[in-house]
Amino acid sequence: MVKFGIHLPQIGVDYRTVKDVALTCERVGFHTVWATDHLLPIEGSGQESYLECWTTLSALAEATSTVRIGTMVLCNLYRHPPILAKMAATLDVVSGGRLDFGLGAGWFKPEAEAFGVPFPKAPVRIEMLNEALEVLEKMWSEEKPVFNGKYYRINESSCNPKPLQKPHPPVWIGTQTGGKLMYKTVAKHADGWAVGAWYLPSVDEYKQMTDQVKLFCSEAGRDFERLEKGLGVVCVLAENKTILEEKTRRYRPSRSPLDEYGATKMQIYGTPEACVDILKTYAKAGVDHFMMVFPDGTDLKTIRLFGEQVIPFVK
């Protein structure tokens, strides 16, 4: 079964708006709602308000009842892994076992510098991520976990209550265009692998990426077929061509801090029928969880349109 999630609006919105979006998603058939983990907006003015990921999801855990809540993805640099393990276990309990836990190495250097967070080079950040994932897995599954790594240490630390989901909440790792070190991390630790929404690969490119992850899964002794494959998709959706033309003009990609990271924001534009056709091609290529980004993501009409006229038709 193909699943659908949505990246919640967090920039320049109040919590009531976010809650309305999440509740609408729950009603119209979305499987997951996801919050990103940034301290500054990655687009527009750096002074725009930005709702913090973990706090927002904690509130949504109480407001919703069936939709799964996820982090896409937490920055490992921002929270000490043993403390993060406690936070995640608690949120899984509060939500009734609905947490999807996404974690990444971090990529947005200006944000880290603005908040005084050390930001080592990429290979070091990925080493830290791997150690953090080991700490988390031990904290969630062992009563007196011990770990002595290069970056993190725990000594019989307690993490009670344990997560409701066993052995722990699904662990998602996000990548953009990929790379050997991150693919190895996915193969070793992930239950789900998500290609970020800011670069939409062609179907052929996506197949090449999955081939690489499959190879590393084989080397790690893990079953690639059990890995949930997610794809972020920026989508401009309209009920007819006239409205689509107007939305296309309004939401064409603009320059942002993402540009210097090579993460070119590519969008799909279409009526529900056209979007179904495009998404089906990616589903046939192996995607089983689409994580949608709507530029007009606070418009509940767009969310209902997608839930009613797209989700049921992508098999």
pLDDT tens per residue, range 16-58:
999 999 999 999 999 999 999 999 887 766 788 999 999 999 9
CA distance 17 to 56: 12
Q: Which residues, at least 6 apart from 216, have a Cβ–Cβ distance to it below 8 Å?
A: 183, 184, 186, 187
pLDDT at position 262 is 45
Does residue 197 surpass a pLDDT of 80?
no
Highest mean pLDDT of the ranges 108-112, 187-191, 260-264 = 187-191
Classify 76 as helix, strand or coil: helix
Q: Return the CATH number at 109.
A: 3.20.20.30
Q: Summarize pLDDT for 89-125 with one digit per residue, the tens.
A: 999 999 999 999 999 999 999 999 999 999 999 999 9
Q: Which residues, at least 6 apart from 212, have a Cβ–Cβ distance to it below 8 Å?
A: 178, 183
pLDDT at position 142 is 97
Based on the structure, what is the number of domains in the chain? 1
Query: pLDDT-derived band of residue 255, with 50, 70 and 90 as boundaries?
Result: low
Does residue 165 surpass a pLDDT of 80?
yes
% of the chain surpassing 70 pLDDT: 94
Does residue 258 surpass a pLDDT of 70?
no
Angle value at C-alpha 182, between 179 and 187, nearest 5 degrees: 115
Query: pLDDT-derived band of residue 199, with 50, 70 and 90 as boundaries?
Result: confident
pLDDT at position 315 is 85
CB 182 within 8 A of CB 173: yes
Query: What's the mean per-residue pLDDT of the chain?
Result: 93
In this structure, the number of other CB atoms found within 10 A of the CB of residue 235 comes to 24
Does residue 263 surpass a pLDDT of 90?
no
DSSP 51-67: --HHHHHHHHHHH-SSS
Structural domain range at position 129: 3-313
